[in-house]
Amino acid sequence: MKLHRNLVFAVIDALNLTFNEGEYADKVIQKVLKIDKRWGSRDRGFIAETTYEMVRYKRLYAEIAEVKAPYNRQDLFRMWAVWAVLKGIKLPDWKQIEPTPERRIKGRFDELSQIRKYREAVPDWIDEVCVKALGEKLWTAEIAALNQKAEVILRTNTLKITKEKLRKTLLDEGIVTEPIKGYAAALRLLERANVFVTDSFKKGYFEVQDASSQLVAEYLDVKPGQRIVDTCAGAGGKSLHLAALMENKGQLIAMDIYGSKLKELKRRARRNGAHNIEPREIDTTKVFKKLYGSADRVLIDAPCTGLGVIRRNPDTKWKMQPEFLDKIVKVQHDIIRSYSKIVKPGGKMVYATCSILPKENNDQVVSFLASEEGKDFTLVKEKKIYASKDGFDGFYMALLEKANK
């Protein structure tokens, strides 16, 4: 593999912004890829994939390189050299790269690979919390799976096209996909490609959405013509799916505390041809209190640690602090009690997170059912999804029904 100086320097720039400036890796990569318009898809792939892998295994590479945060440019080059040696890439003779002790790097790697928190590159506190919550065996398997590169999964927009027709249309555009058993609208890309430049995307035939995430809207058991409230809609991935399941019939109120995310949802809804979505910014509690007792279905896709989706957001591991877990558990506790009041008698609600921790998931549901606000609800079913078992993102979802009285 021939290394180009400008590509390696771009990776170093991206690592500096992610590790030292606190920026998010996905945004950093978008920014860095704009530096040189002449870079082809292979060059861009090298920058993105190398950066992601180094963010993913930051702790391991830093330990082997014997560098500590904050990392200066020389430290970042040392970490990059460790990555290159472990990949079997011949190091170039550049002044930025000191003589690299290849044998010692490999020996140190073999040694550290015996210890999970180094091998899988997780902070001590996350390793401790997760092993306590999930047990040694499940957590070891789960963190290994969460360190794999996430596949690209599409969700067919059934308002505009069938899954089979989408598959054929994409094939005509040079993109090969396959259906995934047990996932009604999902197609898996067999080779990575920039799907956002396709005509199919521009026409709103699909959205990019992990297979686990696609199960959430289906879990809500919606029917055309109902009144549905998506309480934490964000940029609307699940709202768009709900609109498709409702066949554009009925009312879908998509709420969020961030108006900027709802603007993005409006844009996506136009492309998707989803006409029954009404975005509402939660700028006061009145916005949701007006809806109490009025909805057939309520989705609470609660804010969470995101520990189930660190394949996509590997820097979450490094940016999250222990106190955030306690804070988010309190937020979830309050949200489920407030938003559950929107469900009308006989209606249903789904509480979901993209976390694998019981304290954010089943523990919240059990606590809610034992509370004053939850006394009229029963748990119909719940689903715990682990990357190590299902191959897709870690998720939790619970379907609750309110008594009809």
The confidence band for 124, taking pLDDT boundaries of 50, 70 and 90, is: very high
Residue 365 near residue 313 (C-beta atoms within 8 A) = no
Query: pLDDT value at position 365?
Result: 98
Q: Take residue 370 and report the two structure tokens written for it.
A: 């034992």
Residues forming the active site: 354
DSSP-based helix, strand, coil % in the chain, nearest 5: 50, 15, 35
Mean pLDDT of 391-404: 97
Got the DSSP string for 231-280? TT-TT-HHHHHHHHHTTT-SEEEEEES-HHHHHHHHHHHHHHT--SEEEE
Residue 135 pLDDT grade (very low, low, confident, very high; cuts 50, 70, 90): very high
**Residue 94, pLDDT above cutoff 90:** no
What pLDDT, on the 0 to 100 scale, is given for residue 99? 80
Other beta carbons within 10 angstroms of residue 160's beta carbon come to: 18
pLDDT of residue 95: 85
The stretches of 250-376 forming alpha helices (DSSP H) are 259-272, 286-289, 316-319, 322-339, 362-369
Phi, psi (degrees; rounded to nearest 5) at 387:
-60, -35
pLDDT of the residue at 391: 94
Helix axes 58-65, 73-86, angle to 10 degrees: 100
Q: What is the pTM of this model?
A: 0.95
pLDDT tens, position by position, 152-179:
999 999 999 999 999 999 999 999 999 9
In degrees rounded to 5, what are phi and psi of residue 377? -100, 150
Percent of the chain with pLDDT over 90: 93
With CA atoms as reference, report the closest residue to 342 among 268, 236, 254.
Answer: 254
